[in-house]
Amino acid sequence: MGVTDDELLQMARDAMKNAYCPYSEFPVGAALLTDDDTVILGVNCENATYGATVCAERTAVTSALVRGYRKFKAIAIDSFLRFDTCNREVHSTQRAART
């Protein structure tokens, strides 16, 4: 059985911990599912010049292309927004539809 949406989302959430975002403090993680069920992870990587910042989706796709993948089934993206009034993490989660 392949990777479920929930598993893909958890991988994106775990990857988010490696984001490099010292300026915005807005980490984003992405998990890209290839046609053979390989999962490629990506995170956002900021630069002092915001134009050179790379988003998590782009790093995942670029990493997949470097490894020779060209067909994808799904992507999960998770971003940590803030702590709520009870000091719990609030996430904004997006998932692309499977093809």
The region, left, alpha or beta by phi > 0 then psi within -120 to 50, assigned to residue 12 is alpha
H or E stretch including 30?
strand 28-34
Active site residue 46: no
Residue in 80, 73, 76 with CA at minimum distance from that of residue 99: 73
**Which amino acid is it at 75?**
I
Structure tokens at 85: 């009034």
Catalytic residue among 7, 25, 46, 57: 57
> Three-class SS of residue 70?
coil
Active site residues: 57
